[in-house]
Amino acid sequence: MTLFLDVVSTAAILFIVAAGLLAIFGVLKIINFAHGAWLTIGAYCAVVVSGFGLNPWLAIPFAFLIGAILGGVAERFIVRPLYRRPLDAILATWGLGIVIGQLITLWFGRDVQFTPALLPGTFDLFGAGYSAYRLFAIVAAIALGLGFTLLLDGTRLGLSARAVIMNETLARGLGIDTEKVRLTTFMIGTGLAALAGVLLAPLTSVDPNMGVAWLTGAFMLVMVAGSSFGALAVACLIFGAAQVLVSIYFSPILGGITVAVLCAITLRIRPKGFARA
């Protein structure tokens, strides 16, 4: 039972980390290599909230807001001029990530920081105690997945985003303001990255480069998933399970690179990954 929960909660954490990156990739067709920096921004939002002695749960909306606002600024002034040059956009977001990391270092220093547990203790499940916070991560991932499904299938913004994903030229031909859709999506994606940073913070330490370690796995998962949240969930479950098993039965160090290696092998065999088309 514990092994099963380890697999599911690891998949949930991977899904939370990669969801914002996938939202941006799906609509904008660029990889936001500053995604790791936004995770870090979110984690430092948790540090700030706890520093002020506020309820640590307040860090979640605070980080989403800060992440979305900064994402809006980055989209308008850095990413938007480079939509037609995706390679340059990748380099620009990579550079932006480095700048953000340095600014965080200037502001908060290099020291590792810790945030208070959002949900301490264990929860009894089928007779076995399991980390309440990791169980919360599973619930959070499911809520995030359902939220995205609702957003994509139940709102005008979601319909417009799906139209832009499928055929941007036609979407423009129907009068959809694709610039607005891109801006909103980028803000949602960066907001979610910051939110993921808050949720990661109690599981790890917070430092100016903490996001970089998560970026590689998230990037590979998005490459495998294409632009489908369903495919992302499946990829997180499969590769998350592999990560847990390799960590337990072989080595945690090997476990750390399992997701990236298996994603690379998957893409070698099946270049379109888990995407249908």
Partner 1 sequence: MADTFKLKLSGVSSGYGAVDVVNGVSLAIRPGEIFALMGKNGMGKTTLLKTILGFLRGKGTIEVDGAVIADRKPAELIASGIGYAPQELPLFQDLSIRDNLRLALKGDRDLASALERVYGYFPFLKDRLAQKAGTLSGGEQKMLILARALMLRPKLLLIDEISEGLQPSVVQNIAKALRDEREKRGTTILLVEQNLDFALSVADRWAILKLGAIEDESPNGPDSRSRVLQHLKI
Would you tell me which residues interact with partner 1 (CB under 8 A)?
A: 156, 159-160, 162-163, 166-167, 169-178
Smaller CB distance to partner 1: residue 111 or 179?
Answer: 179
Smaller CB distance to partner 1: residue 178 or 243?
Answer: 178
Q: Exposed e or buried b for every residue in 131-168, given b needs 16+ CB within 10 A?
A: bbbbbbbbebbeebbeebeebbeeeeeeebbbbbbeeb
Smaller CB distance to partner 1: residue 167 or 251?
Answer: 167
Q: In whole angstroms, how close is the CB of 57 to partner 1 at the nearest point?
A: 34
Smaller CB distance to partner 1: residue 215 or 232?
Answer: 232
Q: In whole angstroms, how close is the CB of 174 to partner 1 at the nearest point?
A: 5
Q: In whole angstroms, how close is the CB of 146 to partner 1 at the nearest point?
A: 20
Q: 3-class DSSP state for residue 130?
A: strand
8 Å CB contact between 140 and 146? no
- Taking the C-alpha atoms of residue 186 and residue 29, their distance in angstroms, rounded to an integer, is 11
Beta strands in 26-167 (DSSP E): 122-125, 128-131
Show the tokens assigned to 3: 């092994």
8 Å CB contact between 106 and 93? no
Smaller CB distance to partner 1: residue 122 or 167?
Answer: 167
Show the tokens assigned to 90: 């990748």
Smaller CB distance to partner 1: residue 80 or 162?
Answer: 162
Q: In whole angstroms, how close is the CB of 80 to partner 1 at the nearest point?
A: 14
Q: In whole angstroms, how close is the CB of 152 to partner 1 at the nearest point?
A: 11
Smaller CB distance to partner 1: residue 53 or 175?
Answer: 175
How many CB atoms are closer than 10 A to CB 180?
11
Nearest alpha carbon to residue 161 among 225, 150, 82, 15: 150
**CA-to-CA dists, residue 61 to 158, 187, 202, 257, angstroms:** 21, 14, 16, 31
Q: In whole angstroms, how close is the CB of 158 to partner 1 at the nearest point?
A: 10
Q: In whole angstroms, how close is the CB of 270 to partner 1 at the nearest point?
A: 20
